[in-house]
Amino acid sequence: MAALTLSGKKRKTTRVVGVDLAGSPKRNTGICLLTGMTVASYATVYSDDEILAFIETDRPDLIAIDAPLNLPPGRKTIEERTGEHFRPCDRELLKRGIRFFPITLGPMRSLTTRGIRLKERLVERGLEVIEIYPGAAQDLWKIVRKQGGLSKLRRGLEKLGLKGLAKNMNGDELDAVTGALVGRFYISGRAEVLGNFAEGAIVIRKPMKF
């Protein structure tokens, strides 16, 4: 059966781009294109223009970005020193015992600003964008995060059915693959949305049974 895109159009194979965004264009951003369950291409890029060029080479059904894409409710800028620090989706992560960095602290501020700006540029191009958190997905799937060893993370992703993972992929690229897989599950209705899209939502894969 042909996959349905979010716009309702039929396509033989679902294509999702995963982006493990860095807070600064001077640091590595991992990016990959997942076609079905196969990593079709991947790269380490830096600038927003490089990210956009990768995406626009083959317009995907969905882009899944590992970065906050909304400010906490009531905040006008990320630099405010008072106000709400957590979005509804962040509080849900806390309830579930999933580790994360609050988006208003330290380097997360620059990542949040960049994520919001990138999302706006993608939406202007008519592309679908969701926020994902690879660490949460990896915890739910009971596979190691990149800090636990890249070879272990790669093998864990392969056990989930992913193909085309190269042995020389770095941690940012493997997190991008993780995010793309979450996006694939989201399109097929097998993901969970924490929070809400108006105030901030993180899409995670439901726990898998092995």
Residue 152 lies in a domain: yes
At 12, the pLDDT band (50, 70, 90 cuts) reads low
Contact 170, 28 (CB under 8 A): yes
Q: What is the pLDDT of residue 209?
A: 55
Q: Name the range with the highest mean pLDDT among 70-74, 84-88, 129-133.
A: 129-133
Residue 147 lies in a domain: yes
Q: What is the pLDDT of residue 7?
A: 47
Percentage of residues in the chain having pLDDT higher than 70:
91
Residue 35 lies in a domain: yes
Interacting residues of 28 by C-beta distance below 8 A, sequence separation 6+: 22, 44, 46, 170, 172
Give the residue from 50, 116, 31, 32 showing the smallest Cα distance to 79.
116
Residue 3 lies in a domain: no
The stretch 181-186 carries a mean pLDDT of 96
Q: What is the pLDDT of residues 111-167, one digit of tens each?
A: 999 999 999 999 999 999 999 999 999 988 999 999 999 999 999 999 999 999 999
In angstroms, the CA 43 to CA 32 distance is 6
Residue 87 lies in a domain: yes
Residue 4 lies in a domain: no
Q: What is the pLDDT of residue 79?
A: 74
- Name the domain count of the chain: 1
Q: How many residues does the chain have?
A: 210
Q: Whole-model pTM?
A: 0.89
Domain of residue 130 covers 11-204
Give the residue from 129, 202, 135 showing the smallest Cα distance to 174.
135
At 53, the pLDDT band (50, 70, 90 cuts) reads very high
- The answer on pLDDT for 10 being more than 60 is no
Residue 6 lies in a domain: no
Question: Strands across the sheet with 15-20, in order?
Answer: 38-45, 29-35, 15-20, 62-65, 129-131
Q: Name the range with the highest mean pLDDT among 11-15, 144-148, 172-176.
A: 172-176
Enumerate the H helices of 96-149 as residue ranges.
Answer: 108-124, 134-141
> Which CATH number is 42's domain given?
3.30.420.10
